[in-house]
A and B are shown apart, each in its own frame.
Chain A
């Protein structure tokens, strides 16, 4: 490093930055700065203002007041293009990739260079070199749509690096990854920072802050409660308190930070056998992994965790039980009923409830109202029949029940008439739980929960976990399919590990993450 000037001035500095939407102040005099070569964690719950702050940094939103400096001089960023020119690159949680294009074509598209002819070869080379330097290799000729989530994320990062970004912003980069993939990514992030770039890691996982970043900025309710504190000066407890506010209970803080602290529930007396799966075959083909020769028994009052890297047949397993995928071989019985030929509706009548991995793809309808979504699975039971005739729907009862559900599940921002799409991720998940678990105790016999907390913040996670525990305490059985090993460890009373469509091992509650990891990787 040569002159003293640019070294003393932070790479990027914001102070007193505010922003309102529709009269609601989502960012209130926030402050944030970045130094070369650091990993800076931006911590906060959903809705704390992290994304808004970063959208101001990347020029998506214009700030209201405050100062924005790059290299000590006013940034003058008026749009995303200016930010790109200033060397600011962001990897969004929802990837900005064209699925049908190759990796090289995606890099080329993002580069926005002028010139008539597409030089995909050159783009591929640039991306490969950037990837090699930080240990993230991807085949430039691969079609993006055929890559795994982790590989797609790599493409996004390579895209940013290939464009020569000095500032790399990662929005919850580990939310979509398994523990093993997250470990590899965190190593790469360290290498990216070591190249002299600055990395911002937006997260709500405390352990990533403690173990993998240099400084931390914590946001709560639109404010930066701590800005750029060295990570070493704060304990996990401090971080949790600052992030969630003083009123947070120790249990919630524990849930947030070290999930291990929450004791896995143990069942005093296992109930009768609920779900029996034997020699099940389903799905597979056309590039997706099906279920091969899977067998297990799930008892009432039990949470059976299925751990494993995503794309190893979990989707097929869930869909076969729910009734979306035909059973190709073997047996599937719920409370003694052979499910094989049953429709989805009949399975639900037997007490099957589902929280799928993608709530808006196969559970909620975003364009329908909260009340309509709640009624969706119940309306066929005749519950909402109007006095005027059984084929008419009694809107008043739907509305009343929706109001009750909103209150019981604390669904923030919901009214019976509001469209479900307008709810935040955590609240949409609460809406789904309200529908699936409402008759807990009697109606729910089996809950199939697939990645039920993916992308949710700490409080919403805790809520979902509590709801699952409550349903199980009420006599339901739960099949918890999750890529988050900590989630499985925290909830499950038995753990199965799934790989390439098969169950490759079973572990009791209390198994360590490394034991589970060894089975996932096939090293046991």
Chain B
């Protein structure tokens, strides 16, 4: 049992980090008032680009950087459609997902199933041998620590910086922000790009860190789970950490339960994260606290009433 728990805890970040990074990216976008359904597409771009660039350049860090850019690039298209031309955010988001899936399938085909070396792993020796939590705390990829630090930084930045204040004002009440001299479109576009970059990083985490290989469809709905996580987290990056641990934990438990020889049909078990997602959404709706936290102008295009 201890072996099971230790293994489960050690593998937890590999499952939780992609969800966390994507969810925090979505939180940035939604706090700026842009409902961004495209996470699944940005993650697919990140996962594929990360693997392809790592394979061709031979350096996983370059792969991570390229994945971030790829996610942001696809988000840039979404931003042009929704922020500049004020297209419907939901439809544009869904189109982005389809586009991401298509692009990755075409470009990534020659690199399918080719394995590569991932990021270096921290190995402090004795510390990592601590019972239960040694692996969880000390035997992770550098990206796990960097990612967590980034999330905490963003959490603090949203609360305590002027930029964070303006970003939140844009999502709550763009007309008021506009009057206060905030460039609403600039902040929304910036938030969408940051979301794409974080989702790209989340995708890179899947291919470069968790599996060291790219396969088509490897994001496998995690972008949608991240979208639900945002609601669970009530648009707060710190709460998203808790959510990512719960969802990622369920995901991480699956292969281990199967390895233990649990007599559960595989397909049924693999639906667990999605069932959990629905459950969380229902609970969030029942709790009635969703409306307390949801940015007021989420999903609404802002058109200035200017008659100069």
List A residues at the B interface (Cβ < 8 Å): 21, 60-62, 79-81, 84, 96-101, 105, 108-110, 112-113, 115-118
Contacts and interface: CB of A to CB of B under 8 A. Distances in A.
Contacts, number: 62
Contact of B161 (A79, A100, A105, A117): A117
A98 B181 contact: no
B295 to A, nearest CB: 8
A62 B308 contact: yes
A109 B161 contact: no
B169 interface: yes
Question: Which secondary structure dominates where chain B touches chain A?
Answer: helix
B153 to A, nearest CB: 13
A99 B179 contact: no
5 contacts: A98-B177, A101-B168, A109-B182, A110-B179, A117-B162
Contacts of A97: 173, 176
Contacts of B177: 98, 109
Interface residues of B, number: 22
Contact of A98 (B160, B163, B173): B173
A109 B180 contact: yes
A101 B176 CA distance: 12
Interface in B283-308: 296, 306-308
A57 B271 CA distance: 62
B165 interface: yes
A110 B180 contact: yes
Interface string B190-219: 000000000000000000000000000000
Contact of B160 (A112, A113, A117): A117
B176 A100 contact: no
Given A109-B180, A112-B180, A99 B173 contact: yes
B163 A112 contact: no
Interface string B144-181: 00000000000000001111111011001101110111
A115 B162 contact: yes
Nearest to B181: A112
A96 B176 contact: yes
Given A21-B307, A112-B181, A100 B172 contact: yes
Contacts of A61: 307-308
Nearest to B305: A60
Contact of A116 (B161, B169, B180, B306): B161
Contact of B165 (A21, A62, A84, A108): A108
B176 to A, nearest CB: 4
Contacts of B308: 60-62, 79
B179 to A, nearest CB: 5
Contact of A100 (B163, B179, B296, B307): B296
A108 B162 contact: yes
Contacts of B161: 116-118
Contact of A96 (B160, B163, B164, B179): B179
